[in-house]
Amino acid sequence: MQSITLTVNGKSYTRDVEPRMLLVDFIRNALGLTGTNIACDTSQCGACTIHMDGMAVKSCTVLAVQADGADITTIEGLATNGHLHPMQQAFWDQHGLQCGYCTPGMIMAAAKLVENNPGITEAEIRHGLEGNLCRCTGYQNIVKAVAQAAAAGS
């Protein structure tokens, strides 16, 4: 066991973790934040995407101990003061989800994408979301949602 301290959605946590524990399991099981999903065992799907120190990362590719000292945001922490983040609103408006299982990861990846590239083009949106799988929507409305949020932010 190893002790780690990290900030998640603005709150500081100190926990003992197994050195082999994945960050996604820490977030889901130790902190009970189950909005971050797991959909694969090969880092393919992006359902587990979170923000860690300002970057969108697949939390199944990070060990919990590697997140010691990190500042993390999960889907549950994206809204502020009861207001949905523009990316969450855009997924709502554009019907960018069906079953919703890919949605938290998709929104987290897309939010960073747009933040890092405010004038993002449609082709750039597609390239940026290459690492996030959705089985329900055919992606059409997801791309529209990200474009809406980008337009709203600029």
Which residues of this chain interact with ligand FES, rule CB under 6 A? 38-40, 43-48, 58, 60, 97-103, 134-137
* Binding partner of residue 48 among ligand FES, another protein, none, CB cut-off 5 to 8 Å per kind: ligand FES
Binding site for another protein (CB under 8 A): 28, 32-42, 44-45, 47, 74-76, 78-79, 84, 88-89, 91-92, 95, 97-104, 107, 122-123, 126-127, 129-130, 132-143
Between the alpha carbon of residue 130 and those of residues 46, 54, 76, 123, the distances in Å are 9, 19, 23, 11
**For another protein, the closer CB: 5 or 121:** 121
**For ligand FES, the closer CB: 14 or 34:** 34
Token pair for 8 = 């998640």
**For ligand FES, the closer CB: 137 or 148:** 137
Distance CA 96, CA 82 (A): 21
**Closest distance between another protein and the C-beta of residue 16, in Å?**
15
**Closest distance between ligand FES and the C-beta of residue 118, in Å?**
25
**For another protein, the closer CB: 40 or 54:** 40
What DSSP letter does each residue of 46-114 carry, written as one string?
-TTEEEETTEEEETTSSBGGGGTT-EEE-GGGTSBTTB--HHHHHHHHTT--SS-SSHHHHHHHHHHHH
Distance CA 104, CA 109 (A): 9
